Amino acid sequence: MAKRSLTSDILSIYVPSFFIFLGMSIVSPILPLYAESFNVSYTMVSLAISMYAFGRFVVDLPVGVIADKFGRRPLMVVGTLILTVCSFLNASAPNFALFLLYRFIEGVGSAMWLTSRTTLLADILKPEERGRIMSYFQAFMLIGSAAGPTFGGIVADRWGISAPFYFYALAGGISLMLTWFLVKEPEGARASHHDDGPHFSTPMLRRLLTNRSFMMACLAAFTAFFLMTGIRGTMLPLYASSELGLDAEAIGTVISFATLMNLILTVPVGYGIDYFGRKPIIVVSILVAAVACAIFPFTTSYVTLAMGAVLLGVGTTGAQQAPLAMASDATIHEPHGLSMGVYRFFGDIGFVLGPIVLGVIADGYGLRLPFYCMSAIMIVNGGLILIFARETFRRRTMGKEFQTPVE
């Protein structure tokens, strides 16, 4: 593989990701409100979130296999194109059914983009740098995510609830051009695409599903995605609007507080993932986020809600970064496309179920109970990871710079 440079990493990996996540976050504070504008129930509002996740869910595994066979770059390009077109179509959806269809197709494009990009990272990163480099990658995504919600709320208040989707399409178009011109296929990965070996087999899948550390990383991803779409993406905006009476602009700034905490902590946490190991960061992060979820029902104003969002941001930083590092470590000798496809598959189960499960609870018991349920789920899953996960890598400074990865 050609020697990487900081400049090539920034241009090919970080900047296109910034624009994709900028677009996604622009619509995040208004998405539940836009769905609600079709005069549907909380459960149906949650379905609008989950249809996007379901589109990702159904193609995660096939996309991983295709990435191993044909390469990472083609899937990034096509996936970004789909995201751009569907975000434009969402803005003018004439009815809720078509809106759901566009969200599903958008999810397919997201799976193509995300799975191929995480596969690319698994190709090029060494175990001792995964936490650190992934933290830079995360930082660029978070810069986009931090800027988006506040901007999206302002756009919605000024030009209407559908306007943020047009800005999402613009950001997607910029990312598409950057991906087309700047992303290069890793040479080692390209060589592996064209060998005569199988790109998928039942024994390969069985090895992944019986790999304890990989499966615990998948459980952590499931938990993080369930939280992000169920609480941060759905229940928090609905609670802020219905219970506290906040407008779209205020909701956007609340979500931005959580994202800003992610941004502040992502690089230090990345170094911590490499030094202390993947497992302790995952467990502590999940438990902190569980505390944040338990606090939200007690918030009574913009200020207290923002304080809860800050704590949520502290917890979700490690919960989003460390599982991917553990999954990559645990499958270093497996096909990267398949392993990342399986990893994202489990994460997207949480992505799909989070809004639906918590939306059903909210319809039956109000907007406070979903936060308590989410807290309980996170405590249980954090305990399972603490008990069953095996550390895959930790850096020490006692005689040797790097410790051999723990099996």
Over residues 199-231, the pLDDT tens digits come to 667 888 889 999 999 999 999 999 999 999 899
Coil, helix or strand for 103?
Answer: helix
Mean pLDDT of 64-74: 85
Percent above pLDDT 90 for the chain = 43
- Residue with the bigger pLDDT between 138 and 39: it is 39
Residue 396 in any domain: the answer is no
**406 located within any domain:** no
Place of tokens 């505390």: 291
Supply angle C-alpha 177, 347, 93, rounded to 5.
55
Partners of 119 in the beta sheet? none
Mean pLDDT of 162-183: 90
At 284-330, the pLDDT tens digits run 999 999 999 999 999 999 999 999 999 999 999 999 889 989 998 89
Q: Has residue 398 been placed in a domain?
A: no
Q: Residue 22: is its pLDDT beyond 80? A: yes
Type of residue found at 94 = P
Angle of CA points 366, 225, 268, to nearest 5°: 120
SS3 205: helix
Give CA–CA dist 365/250, Å, rounded.
25
Cα angle 7-11-12, degrees, rounded to a multiple of 5: 115
Between the alpha carbon of residue 196 and those of residues 15, 24, 38, 193, 394, the distances in Å are: 35, 39, 51, 9, 35
Per the listing, tokens 């410790």 go with 403
Give residue 396's identity as a one-letter amino acid code. R
In a domain, 224, yes or no: yes
- Span of 89-93, 134-138, 159-163, 317-321 with lowest mean pLDDT: 134-138
Confidence of residue 267 (pLDDT cuts 50, 70, 90): confident
The separation between CA 325 and the C-alpha centre of its own chain, rounded to angstroms, equals: 14
The larger pLDDT score, comparing residue 14 to residue 228, is at 228
Q: Where are the alpha helices (DSSP H) in 28-95?
A: 31-36, 42-70, 73-91
Radius of gyration of the chain (CA): 20
Backbone torsions φ then ψ of 341, nearest 5 degrees: -65, -45
And the tokens for 339?
């392993």
For residue 184, tell me if it sits in a domain. yes
The reply to whether 18 falls in a domain is: yes
Closest CA to 174 of 385, 10, 23: 23
Contact 79, 66 (CB under 8 A): no
Question: Of residues 70 and 98, which shows the higher confidence score?
Answer: 98
* Cα torsion through 284, 288, 294, 295, rounded to 10: 160
Tokens at residue 6, please? 């900081």
Q: Quick one: pLDDT at residue 17?
A: 84
Structural domain count of the chain = 1
Residue 6 has a pLDDT of 53
What was the pLDDT predicted at 295?
96
What's the pTM value of the predicted model, to 2 decimals?
0.78
Whether the predicted pLDDT of 40 surpasses 90: no
Q: Residue 198 — very low, low, confident or very high, per pLDDT cuts 50/70/90?
A: low
Average pLDDT over residues 248-254: 85
pLDDT tier for residue 11 given thresholds of 50, 70 and 90: low
Among 57, 59, 56, 63, smallest CA distance to 338 is for 63
Helix-then-strand count for the chain, H and E: 17, 0
Q: Is 404 left (phi over 0), alpha (psi -120 to 50) or beta?
A: beta
Strand partners, 395: 402
The C-alpha atoms of residue 303 and residue 325 are separated, in whole angstroms, by 35
Domain harbouring 140, CATH code: 1.20.1250.20
Query: What pLDDT was estimated at residue 402?
Result: 41
pLDDT for residue 405: 46
Residue 84 near residue 169, CB atoms below 8 Å: yes
Return mean pLDDT, the chain: 85
* Burial of 13 from C-beta contacts in 10 A (0-12 / 13-18 / 19+): buried
Task: Please give the angle made by the CA atoms of 227, 228 and 234, to the nearest 5 degrees.
Answer: 95
User: Is 1 a residue whose pLDDT tops 70?
Assistant: no
Please compute the mean of the pLDDT values over residues 362-380 and round it to a whole number: 96
Specify the amino acid at residue 286: I
Is 403 within the bounds of a domain?
no
- DSSP class of 95: S
The number of angstroms, rounded, from the C-alpha of 91 to the middle of its chain's C-alpha atoms is: 23
Q: In this predicted structure, what is the pLDDT of residue 322? A: 92
Residue 395 lies in a domain: no
Q: Average the pLDDT over each of 25-29, 58-62, 106-110, 182-186 and give the range with the smallest value.
A: 182-186
- Is 341 a residue whose pLDDT tops 90? no
Q: For residue 156, what pLDDT band results from cuts at 50, 70 and 90? A: confident
User: In this predicted structure, what is the pLDDT of residue 188?
Assistant: 55
Burial of residue 200 (CB within 10 Å: 0-12, 13-18, 19+) is middle
Nearest to 165 by CA among 117, 114, 102, 218: 102
Residue 89 pLDDT: 94
Residue 404 has pLDDT above 50, yes or no: no
Query: The domain containing residue 249 runs over which residues?
Result: 6-192+199-388
Average pLDDT on 348-356 reads 87
